Amino acid sequence: MLHTVILKLNDSLNSDVWSKWFHLLELEKQNKIKTLRFADDRLRCLAAGILLRSMLFNHCQVLPSELVFSTNEKGKPFLVSHPELFFNLSHSGDYVCCSLSSSPVGVDIEKMETLDIESIASYFSIHEKKYICSKDTEQEHLDAFYSLWTLKEAFSKYIGSGLSIPLDTYSFFLNKKKFLFPPN
């Protein structure tokens, strides 16, 4: 089982709705949101938390106020009453995404923006750098970069390591039909 939902946010969330949703989150999540500097980041984090709780309610029939989360030895959260369920969140730009699965899962979304590929090349293996540089146009460079970046981030979330494993220590090889993950 794998369910993934992507929501597009808008900035018309009024304070009454914000307050109602905010109070559905556990205190630790509320405190995390309060520490975020920018309103857009607070909105994305809140929306991702509510999306997760909604999906968990639909799947497990557990009310958001009754959900209890804990973390494993690597710090990855899980639902105490249903440790056989796995979930992962991502948010970027105007979107939030949540995947709920019966096996470990990692998800990443990114708002595609123009960036200096050279300045971030250190995040990629030699094979991946060659793949990105082999593209002809700036848009193809960006597409290649974001394809690899989201794979790497989703993979690190899938294995539960976050970004503690250097991204340049493993490679994804992309072609039109599949991607491969052999060791460097």
pLDDT, tens only, 91-109: 999 999 999 999 999 999 9
Between these two residues, 17 and 168, which has the higher pLDDT value? 168
Tokens 């019966």 identify what position?
Answer: 102
Between these two residues, 118 and 158, which has the higher pLDDT value? 158
Indicate the SS3 state at residue 35: helix
CA distance 63 to 104: 23
pLDDT band at 32 (very low <50, low <70, confident <90, very high): very high
Average pLDDT, the chain: 87
Q: Looking at residue 67, what DSSP letter applies?
A: -
Which of the given ranges, 113-127, 133-147, 155-169, has the highest pLDDT on average?
133-147
Write down the pLDDT at residue 171: 85
CA distance 29 to 116: 34
CA distance 150 to 179: 13
The 3 state secondary structure assigned to 18-32 is: HHHHHCCCCHHHHHH
Exposure on the CB side of residue 101, measured as CA atoms within 13 A: 14
Between these two residues, 120 and 148, which has the higher pLDDT value? 148
End-to-end CA distance of the chain: 31
Percent of the chain at pLDDT exceeding 70: 92
CA distance 107 to 84: 18
Is a pLDDT exceeding 70 seen at residue 183? no
* Mean pLDDT in residue range 142-166: 87
Write down the pLDDT at residue 184: 44
pLDDT band at 179 (very low <50, low <70, confident <90, very high): low
- Please give the C-alpha separations between residue 18 and each of 11, 24, 38, in angstroms, as whole numbers: 11, 10, 15
Asked if 18 and 121 touch (Cβ cutoff 8 Å), the reply is: no
Asked if 90 and 84 touch (Cβ cutoff 8 Å), the reply is: no
Q: What is the pLDDT of residues 45-89, one digit of tens each?
A: 999 999 999 999 999 998 888 889 998 888 889 999 999 999 999
Indicate the SS3 state at residue 52: helix
Residue type (1 letter), 111 = K
> Can you give the pTM of this predicted structure?
0.86
- Please give the C-alpha separations between residue 28 and each of 2, 31, 52, in angstroms, as whole numbers: 27, 5, 15
